[in-house]
Amino acid sequence: MKKLRIEFHVHTCFSPDSILTKRFILLKCKLKKINCLAITDHNTIKGAIKYKPYLEKHGVDVIVGEEILTKEGEIIGLFLTKEISKGLSAKETINEIKKQHGLVYIPHPYDLKRNKTVLKSIAIEKNKNDIDLIEIHNGRNIKDEYSKKQLEIADYYKKIKIIGSDAHSFFELGRNYIVINENIDKITKKNLLSCIKNATMNKESCLKYIHQYTRYVRAFKMVMGGHFCELYRIIKKRCEKRNKKII
């Protein structure tokens, strides 16, 4: 029986800050022997749905997911069949995931650099009974202390631990993944939680300058899409922040 290597929390060019295409994903999966991938684009399942037939044809199973921005921060839904709208409350979003019999996964529950998108601690507390998985390491954590804090949160709530690649680029794929130590040939909704409990986790630190790379990608896609007003607002906001720091 082949060993399953699963990479969770992966973004494709269907996210506004990634240019990863299906062919580059497949290439890196083959190089790193990743045979299962959870595609979780920002606020859409279009990438996962579109890439699933191609990747599975070439031996890489795809879990359809979505990283959804709620009013209180981001939540990932796994094994989805329908897209969930952003901007709902955390509770409403979790209810939508459960309606599809999906799994509720909390990404980077602590990250000072991305504090605006981290799910608020009060929302985790209020919805603790409906959470299935909590990320204890994220491939984009810029400090080791973030992973330590994330582990503490998962331990406190006694939730199943998972690591997320959060890959937005070819360079990040195949660095943070889970190896299943049981004799199964395919991950399903029924066996995922039990398999992860005894899995081996391969963790690597954040690549230097990768957050800057993502910002450049986002700006490039805005220009190519003609979203100049949105780009102007972002640049203006950053300039205002820098001016405040100088003052």
pLDDT more than 70, % of the chain:
91
Asked if the model's pLDDT at residue 161 lies above 80, the reply is yes
Q: How much is the pLDDT for 222?
A: 78
Residue by residue, DSSP assigns 68-114 as: EEETTEEEEEES-SS---TTS-HHHHHHHHHHTT-EEEE--S--STT
Comparing CA positions, the residue from 127, 124, 93 lying closest to residue 108 is 124
Residue 58 pLDDT exceeds 70: yes
What's residue 213's pLDDT?
Answer: 87
- Asked if pLDDT for residue 1 goes beyond 80, the answer is no
C-alpha pair distances (Å), 97 with each of 52, 63, 65, 228? 20, 14, 10, 34
Interatomic CA distance for residues 2 and 35, integer angstroms:
9
pLDDT of residue 227: 63
What are the two backbone dihedrals, phi and then psi, of residue 107, each rounded to the nearest 5 degrees?
A: -85, 150
Confidence of residue 247 (pLDDT cuts 50, 70, 90): low
Strands 4-10 and 36-42: parallel
Looking at per-residue pLDDT, the higher value among 14 and 221 belongs to: 14
What is the pLDDT, as a whole number, of residue 218? 85
Q: What is the pLDDT of residues 33-53, one digit of tens each?
A: 999 999 999 999 999 999 999
Which tokens hold the place of 228? 């100049």
Does an H or E element contain 149, and which? helix 144-157
- Written as six digits, the tokens of 227 are 């979203």
**How confident is the model over 207-236, as pLDDT tens digits?**
999 999 888 898 878 787 776 666 656 666
pLDDT given for residue 216 in this prediction: 86
**Whole-angstrom Cα distance, residue 87 to residue 135?**
22
Average confidence (pLDDT) over 77-84: 98
Structure confidence at residue 246 (pLDDT): 53
Q: Would you state the pLDDT for residue 154?
A: 98
**pLDDT per position as a tens digit, 88-134:** 999 999 999 999 999 999 999 999 989 989 999 999 999 999 999 99
pLDDT for the residue numbered 86: 97
pTM of the model: 0.92
Q: Which of 8, 90, 75 is nearest to 43 (CA)?
A: 75
169-215 pLDDT, tens digit per residue, is 999 999 999 999 888 888 999 999 999 988 999 999 999 999 998 88
Strands of the sheet with 73-78, listed across from one edge: 160-164, 133-138, 103-106, 73-78, 61-70, 36-42, 4-10, 177-180, 200-202
Residue 146 clears pLDDT 60, i.e. is over it: yes
> Of 1, 4, 11, 18, which is closest to residue 165 (Cα–Cα)?
11
Rounded to the nearest 10 degrees, the angle between the axes of helix 22-32 and helix 46-57 is 50
The pLDDT assigned to 27 comes to 98
